[in-house]
């Protein structure tokens, strides 16, 4: 007979608002479930954001809960224009705006009472997996970075799409994107399209299986619509160029059969960042809760963070140590 072990209890999260670029953004704050990683200066905190069109209630909570149970605070937030955050331009991705939001989230997270401002972890997945490289580059106050299935090179992502998506679908999406940009310059509403759609349909992600995969993690605030100009916005995206400026330890988690975030680009960025790399034999969504590789991915994150954030033995603080 196998004894049952109760899962560690994680306190409920609190809702916190912060400002970025004059806009109110919303975050969920999970308090560490134990003090195993606490130092006199306080608890480490993970700042967590989603990828393309994602919201904090769409697949991030299982990661936040597991990290909190391991002794870390977690600050999961929505970018402006998405989820519960404010913003006039709804469902429209601005790379510069999201980077500004992430930096503002770091400032808000480190202002929480009991948090160690010098042990901040940047956590990103997909598009935000690239953002954490850019935000963490050149900063001395970042203790660790986790980039999961990261999109780091927009041009490479476009080339990868050409191998999986009919050229006619890409042409239609590109045309809509160009028209949307023109409309916005004229002060008119952008043209919207689905974030995920079926193969052959117009959408940002139209690979077979992706609509079901995304809908499986979609939360109440998530909307399946996005400004059609997203293709042009990501086309020049090069988070990999910032990787060499990172001094914090990095965990790069690569899905070997990823059809939307090029694996070779992630691997090249990992070399520049001197990252620890973990591989998973799955596609882009295979690391979310309920999928085959969630348990392995979150276990690797906890092992990585405990190794780099755990309080040092007293002997390490002795003279000459």
How many other CB atoms are there within 10 angstroms of residue 271's CB atom?
Answer: 13
Q: Quote the CA–CA distance of 28 and 93 in Å, as a whole number.
A: 21
User: Could you tell me what percent of the chain has a pLDDT over 70?
Assistant: 94
Average pLDDT, the chain: 92
Provide the pLDDT confidence category of residue 2 given band limits of 50, 70 and 90.
Answer: very low
Q: What pLDDT, on the 0 to 100 scale, is given for residue 268?
A: 98
Cβ contacts of 311 within 8 Å, gap of 6 or more = 37, 38, 39
pLDDT for position 315:
53
For residue 24, give every residue at least 6 positions away whose Cβ sits within 8 Å of its Cβ, in sequence order, or none: 17, 18, 85, 86
Question: Per-residue pLDDT tens for 39-85?
Answer: 999 999 999 999 999 999 999 999 999 999 999 999 999 999 999 99
For residue 207, give every residue at least 6 positions away whose Cβ sits within 8 Å of its Cβ, in sequence order, or none: 164, 165, 199, 259, 260
Residue 7 pLDDT greater than 60, yes or no: no
Task: List, in order, residues 6 or more apart from 152 with CB less than 8 Å away.
Answer: 129, 130, 133, 237, 238, 239, 240, 243, 261, 265, 266, 269
Own/partner pairs for 174-182, CB < 8 Å, 24+ apart?
Answer: 174/231, 174/232, 176/202, 176/228, 177/228, 177/229, 177/230, 177/231, 177/232, 178/229, 178/232, 179/228, 180/227, 180/228, 180/229, 181/229, 181/232
pTM recorded for the entire structure: 0.92
Helix, strand, coil distribution of the chain in percent, nearest 5: 35, 20, 45
Nearest to 311 by CA among 38, 118, 120: 38
Tens digit of pLDDT for each residue in 255-312? 999 999 999 999 999 999 999 999 999 999 999 999 999 999 999 999 999 999 987 7
* Domain annotation for the chain: domains and CATH numbers: 14-153+238-312 (3.40.50.1820)
Angle between helices 154-162 and 263-273 (to 10 degrees): 160
Q: What is the mean pLDDT of residues 14-18?
A: 97
Core vs surface per residue 79-99: b (16+ CB within 10 A) or e: bbbbbbbbbeebbbbbbebbb
3-class SS of residue 302: helix
What is the average per-residue pLDDT within 90-116?
A: 97
**pLDDT digits over 28-42, tens only?**
999 999 999 999 999
Partners of 251 in the beta sheet? Answer: 146, 276
How many CB atoms lie under 10 A from the CB of residue 279?
A: 13
3-state SS assignment for residue 285: coil
Q: Identify the band that residue 314 occupies on the pLDDT scale cut at 50, 70 and 90.
A: low
């Amino acid at each position: 007979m196998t004894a049952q072990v109760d899962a560690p209890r994680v306190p409920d999260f609190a809702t916190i608002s912060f400002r970025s670029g004059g806009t109110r953004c919303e975050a969920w704050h999970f308090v560490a479930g134990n003090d195993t990683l606490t130092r006199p200066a306080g608890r480490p905190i993970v700042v967590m954001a989603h990828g393309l069109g994602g919201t904090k209630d769409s697949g991030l909570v299982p990661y936040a809960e597991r990290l909190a149970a391991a002794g870390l605070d977690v600050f999961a937030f929505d970018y402006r224009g998405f989820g519960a955050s404010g913003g006039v331009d709804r469902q429209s991705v601005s790379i510069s705006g999201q980077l500004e939001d992430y930096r503002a989230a770091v400032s808000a997270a480190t202002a929480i009472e009991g948090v160690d401002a010098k042990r901040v972890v940047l956590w990103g997945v997909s598009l935000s997996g690239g953002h954490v490289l850019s935000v963490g580059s050149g900063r001395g106050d970042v203790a660790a970075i986790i980039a999961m299935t990261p999109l780091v090179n927009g041009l490479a992502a476009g080339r990868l799409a050409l191998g999986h998506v009919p050229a006619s679908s890409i042409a239609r999406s590109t045309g809509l994107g160009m028209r949307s940009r023109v409309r916005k310059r004229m002060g008119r509403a952008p043209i919207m399209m689905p974030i995920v759609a079926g193969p052959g349909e117009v959408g940002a992600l139209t690979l077979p299986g992706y609509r079901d995969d995304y809908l499986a993690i979609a939360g109440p605030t998530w909307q399946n619509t996005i400004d059609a100009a997203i293709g042009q916005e990501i086309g020049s995206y090069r988070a990999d160029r910032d990787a060499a400026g990172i001094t914090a330890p990095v965990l790069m988690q690569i899905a070997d059969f990823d059809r939307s975030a090029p694996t070779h680009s992630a691997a090249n960025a990992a070399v520049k960042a001197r990252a620890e790399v973990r591989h998973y034999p799955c596609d882009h969504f295979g690391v979310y809760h309920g999928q085959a590789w969630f348990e392995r991915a979150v276990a690797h994150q906890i092992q990585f963070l405990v190794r780099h954030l755990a309080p040092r033995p007293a002997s390490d603080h002795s003279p000459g140590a």
